[in-house]
Amino acid sequence: MLDPFHATTIISVRHNGQVAVCGDGQVTIGHTVAKNSAKKVRKVNQGRVLCGFAGTASDAFTIMELFEQHLEKYPSNLPKACVELAKEWRLDRRFRRLEAVLIASDASETFQISGSGDVLTPDDNVMAIGSGGVYALAAARALIRHAPKLKADQIAQESMKIAAEICLYTNDNLTLEVLDSK
């Protein structure tokens, strides 16, 4: 699926006992860089879930708020919280037009959630969104294959640096969050 969102790149990597979610800090308005240090990755659910978002800022914050409400209802069930978010996002008229994509990872699973109702899991423990997502994803897969001793945080950071070298809408001012994985 081609990601229509510019101005961000987010990657989740699960490898060697860790899960890491990393995002860049660039915000653009049109073809102008408006901010270099936005925080698009955070820990939620009392530090048990890592989230990263791409899309327009107000829409992404609205979806994050909604997601946190679902995590409160299902605190130990990330898949259920993700599915309930996707259902509400798609079916509720207030949220239907929000333009954002979310990645959520806990100690054992990773999901990509969108307003079209998609709740996707990666085949290979790596998932990326945003305009530089395909570059970060390719870099992470290569690093996992050719430098398998690296930890997830190292792979995520290096992948984001590579994406920042290629994608105009991605910078190397990174936010990284890490959990031990199962």
Q: What is the DSSP string of the chain?
A: ------S-EEEEEEETTEEEEEE---EEETTEEEES----EEEETTTTEEEEEEE-HHHHHHHHHHHHHHHHHSTT-HHHHHHHHHHHHHH-TTTTT--EEEEEE-SS-EEEEETTS-EE--SSSEEEEETTHHHHHHHHHHHHHH-TTS-HHHHHHHHHHHHHHH-TT--S--EEEEEE--
Q: pLDDT below 50 — which residues of the chain?
A: 1-3
Residue 142: per-residue pLDDT:
98
Active site residues: 8
Q: Where are the domains of the chain?
A: 9-180
pLDDT at 3: 45
pTM: predicted TM-score of the whole model, two decimal places: 0.94
Pick the CATH number of 9-180 from 3.40.50.12780, 3.90.650.10, 3.40.190.10, 3.60.20.10: 3.60.20.10
pLDDT for 1 equals 38
